[in-house]
Amino acid sequence: MAEETKSRPTSETVTSPSSQPTDAQGQLTAAVDDLLDQLQHKFDNVSRDMFGKLDDMARRLDELEASLTIAGDTASPGAGSPKK
């Protein structure tokens, strides 16, 4: 009978702490998931901003190239005059 008494507290002790780590693991998992969601959201925002800035820079470079081409075409007839 003494063995039965020893086995009962052991099983109760095992049951109680096992539920606590499960709860702690669940909280940790939820916290990590939340953190990953926040990082994903921030990454998406930074990525969108970077692509927007790259698109803007490409558009501005295209405009600059076009204006330089136009300026070069207008300067070409004057540059072709013979020098003495």
pLDDT tens digit string along 41-68? Answer: 999 999 999 999 999 999 999 999 999 9
pLDDT reported for residue 77: 63
* Number of H-type helices and E-type strands within the chain: 1, 0
Model pTM above 0.85: no
Asked if the model's pLDDT at residue 79 lies above 90, the reply is no
The CA distances from residue 8 to 15, 21, 56, in Å, are 11, 21, 72
Over residues 20-39, mean pLDDT: 93
The CA distances from residue 40 to 29, 35, 52, in Å, are 16, 9, 18
What are the sequence ranges of the domains in the chain?
Answer: 25-74
Report how far residue 18's alpha carbon sits from residue 42's, in angstroms, rounded to the nearest whole number. Answer: 36
pLDDT reported for residue 11: 47
